[in-house]
Amino acid sequence: MSDRFEPDASIDLHGRRPDAAMELLRQTVSSGKYRGKTLEVVHGQGRGILREQVRNWANSSPLVKKYWAGEDVFMPGGGGVTVLFL
CATH 3.40.630.10 holds for 9-85: no
DSSP class per residue in 39-54: EEEE---TTSHHHHHH
What is the per-residue pLDDT for 73?
87
pLDDT for res 2: 54
pLDDT single digits (tens) 22-67: 999 999 999 999 999 999 999 999 899 999 999 999 999 999 999 9
Residues 84 and 41: their CA atoms lie apart, in Å, by 7
Its pTM stands at 0.92
The three-class DSSP label of residue 69 is strand
Please state, in angstroms and rounded to a whole number, the distance separating the CA atoms of residues 1 and 86: 25
